[in-house]
Structure 1
């Protein structure tokens, strides 16, 4: 089971809102909206995606990584490594 299962509906709701934001940006471009206004909406969309990413990371740490630590063994290194790489990707983005 995915670690975010408990918050799945909330994550999906946020992603649908982000999808609407992206469509709105597309519409703004189609309508030749002022560049700075488009950039403002792109920035808001990026912030919303980062917010969802942080929820997913938190869920991963609190479920998958925690379960691996409790279970011990090689899975601890695997799950911590996954989390570390995910954090690295988020920081670079």
Structure 2
């Protein structure tokens, strides 16, 4: 059985690491890709402070999350929205 490199991402789409996708023994050329993985390789050159994010079709580079005070959910949400202005813009559009 052959395998290919697969790239794991978290529930939020951030790159976590690598694993293997195995070829189907019954369907040559069909790959059993594990959950929350893709066969598309992430970018090689990652600037400081950025992290690859899988958006469902491609890798993009987003601001690396910074740990927030887990005891304060409002501060955690504010930090997330400050680091992800695209999400903020979507939320503002929905409130119109």
Name the structure where strand makes up a greater proportion of residues: 2
Could you say which structure has the greater relative contact order, defined with CA pairs below 8 angstroms and 6 or more residues apart?
Answer: 1
Q: Is the TM value for this pair above 0.5?
A: no
TM-score between the two structures when normalised by the length of structure 2: 0.25
TM-score relative to the length of structure 1: 0.26
Q: Flag the structure with higher helix content.
A: 1
